[in-house]
Amino acid sequence: MLRPQESAYRDRRRIEGLWDFSFASPPVFDAEMAVPASYNDVLPGGRDHVGPVWYRKRVVVPRGWVGQRVVLHFESATHRATVWVDGAEVMSHEGGYTPFEAELDVTAGETIEIVVSVDNTLTFTSIPPGVVEQSAAGPRQRYWHDFSNYAGLHRPVWLYATPRECITDVTFSAAADGTLTWDITGGSRMILRNREGRVVASGGAQGTVKVGHVHPWAPGDGYLYELEAQRVEDGEVRDSCRRTVGFRTVTIDGPRFLINGRPFRFRGFGRHEDIPVLGRGHNDAWMLHDFALMDWIGANSFRTSHYPYSEDVLDHADRHGIVVIGETAAVGLNTALAQGTASRERFPTYGTETVNEATREVHAQAIRELVARDRHHPSVVMWSIANEPESETAAAEAYFLPLFALTRELDPDRPVGFANYGAATPDRCRLSRHADVLMLNRYYGWYVHTGDLAAAEQAFEAELRAWAATGKPILISEYGADTLPGLHAVEPTPWTEEYQSAYLEMNHRLFDRIPEVVGEHVWNFADFATTAGITRVGGNRKGVFTRDRQPKAAAHLLRRRWRGDQGSGKASP
């Protein structure tokens, strides 16, 4: 699927601003809601709402679009949606973080009414999974992941026009040696231009060329070419659209993670799309600010924990040479990890009534849509197909094996992994042997050996050495400590700023002793909203920045480590 875009042959309108809104079903449209935004924190009643909400908007199909193909495109609707235009159902979509669209049967110049129901319910056949329980206050959503179940229209909605006969897809792969292989559906000509606009290659609807003197995309050097696809009929161009191209190659060589043949060391964060009031709603100003802070601190990479992020984020990473690990929304496939809900009924994770074959098909579709959307981003160097699943059982292996195979079949060019959780140690985990990179989420000194950093260091070292013996690269995909800004102590104790710094220093000492460790992603870039619970004080406070993006003391420590020059110059890639 192509992103809506403008060209001499295409036009688009962003349907943003205020939409009519209703919590009630059937809808009464007695409120308004901003798009894009999560609805949860905007209006009272949003935070604990379970079930569908309704959006409505009337828009004019521009008169100039006469004779064109008109498409309605949603960049996401969390977690599922059904869409009607003038009372007729036009599409529905499962999964909260990938785009979907439908061609409309409308007349240029007329006003159409778009109604969308967006449902945030999590079940054992959704990704992520959850269950709805009845309480005195009504239905309550329960799930096994540690962030707010933000929902709604988080990203732009577009109405766009193309010629009736048009290009419908452009796919390619581009390696660091300049090899470009492409396939244009519905088009006939490919033109590749460098950043200066000079044509460096061209060809037909499909093909392979080798671009001479290629300038590869690399960490810290977001050099992009532009691929123009054209549809030519009777010698005339009838449609044209573009994708950016970064030439780069990712390989795993024993315990080394190589980008363009050079060892890459990940420095950065697990993050969330999470900002005050807007929740998971995309906002360009916050996005730029977050990237500026990552640059300030010297981060060269991040993981899209725990779901695919807005494509604007990936475009920015492409342009600036930031390395990304793309993750599906398969988080909480582990009912032992009941954040704040441990006292309630315990479900087996995998079973006919819980995570089962139907769940796996929804998960597989989430992987297909993630890879289809993001495989053209050079910034994305690896797929994480799940976060902290139960991975130490035979049932886990049976569930995941086909998903590893599917991901590799869809994209043979990127390594595949998943974020492993603390109880799935080297002797117990049954999935790590299927991963190309070991991604470890570890909290020695926080959830275990709390407050005892010496014991934590010893225990963590023993575990890391056992993982290192497998010969695979190790990325510490999470390590962190909750910290209340402004809380201080001479003797570092948990929750103080001193403890967060001492905790990070201990981890870094250890990572630097183990050559198989190829990177460190601190949990988390910033504090973020979670469900209420006795281990959460106004959300998860493991941020290096507060939720409004002020640095805690640890931010300065990381900046010294990652910029390697006391913070005065540019980080090396």
- Positions marked active-site: 388, 478
Q: What does the block give as tokens for 493?
A: 């104790």
- Chain residues 142-161 in contact with ligand GCB, contact rule CB under 6 A: 146
Q: What does the block give as tokens for 154?
A: 């988080």
Longest CA pairwise span in the chain (Å): 79
**Which residue, 533 or 567, is less far from ligand GCB as judged by CB?**
533
- Is-contact 359 317, C-beta < 8 A? no
- Provide the minimum distance between the beta carbon of 18 and ligand GCB in the complex, in angstroms, as a whole number: 33
- Provide the minimum distance between the beta carbon of 383 and ligand GCB in the complex, in angstroms, as a whole number: 17
| Residue 411 contacts ligand GCB per CB under 6 A | no
Q: What does the block give as tokens for 143?
A: 């799930």
DSSP SS3 for 212: coil
- Residues in contact with ligand GCB, shown as a per-residue x/- string from 434 to 463 under the rule CB under 6 A: -------x----------------------
Tell me which residue has its CB nearest to ligand GCB. 146
**Which residue, 78 or 249, is less far from ligand GCB as judged by CB?**
78
| Residue 11 contacts ligand GCB per CB under 6 A | no
Sort strands 323-327 and 301-303 into parallel, antiparallel or unpaired. Answer: parallel
- Provide the minimum distance between the beta carbon of 388 and ligand GCB in the complex, in angstroms, as a whole number: 5
Q: How far apart are CA 416 and CA 145, in angstroms?
A: 22
Going from the C-alpha of 532 to that of each of 142, 147, 526, 539, 540, the distances in angstroms are 11, 10, 18, 7, 10
- Provide the minimum distance between the beta carbon of 129 and ligand GCB in the complex, in angstroms, as a whole number: 14
Q: How far apart are CA 231 and CA 10, in angstroms?
A: 12
Binding-site member from 290, 388, 497, 527 for ligand GCB (CB under 6 A):
388
| Residue 274 contacts ligand GCB per CB under 6 A | no
| Residue 79 contacts ligand GCB per CB under 6 A | no
Binding-site member from 239, 478, 516, 527 for ligand GCB (CB under 6 A):
478
| Residue 540 contacts ligand GCB per CB under 6 A | yes
Q: How far apart are CA 195 and CA 266, in angstroms?
A: 27
Binding-site member from 240, 387, 496, 501 for ligand GCB (CB under 6 A):
387
Q: How far apart are CA 507 and CA 501, in angstroms?
A: 10
| Residue 307 contacts ligand GCB per CB under 6 A | no
> What number of helices (H) and strands (E) belong to the chain?
7, 30
| Of 31, 114, 115, 27, nearest in space to 70 by CA | 114
- Provide the minimum distance between the beta carbon of 540 and ligand GCB in the complex, in angstroms, as a whole number: 5
**Which residue, 170 or 504, is less far from ligand GCB as judged by CB?**
504
**Which residue, 35 or 475, is less far from ligand GCB as judged by CB?**
475
Bridge partners (DSSP) listed for residue 419: 387, 439
Q: Which residues of 101-135 are buried (b: 16+ CB within 10 A; e: fewer)?
A: bbebebeeeeebebbbbbbbbbebbbbbbbbeeee
- Provide the minimum distance between the beta carbon of 549 and ligand GCB in the complex, in angstroms, as a whole number: 18
Helix H or strand E segment including 562: helix 553-563
| Residue 311 contacts ligand GCB per CB under 6 A | no
**Which residue, 192 or 437, is less far from ligand GCB as judged by CB?**
437
**Which residue, 162 or 384, is less far from ligand GCB as judged by CB?**
384
Binding-site member from 523, 525, 545, 562 for ligand GCB (CB under 6 A):
523
- Provide the minimum distance between the beta carbon of 419 and ligand GCB in the complex, in angstroms, as a whole number: 6
**Which residue, 146 or 273, is less far from ligand GCB as judged by CB?**
146
Q: How far apart are CA 416 and CA 326, in angstroms?
A: 10
Q: Which residues contact ligand GCB (rule: CB under 6 A)?
A: 146, 306, 387-388, 441, 478, 523, 540, 542
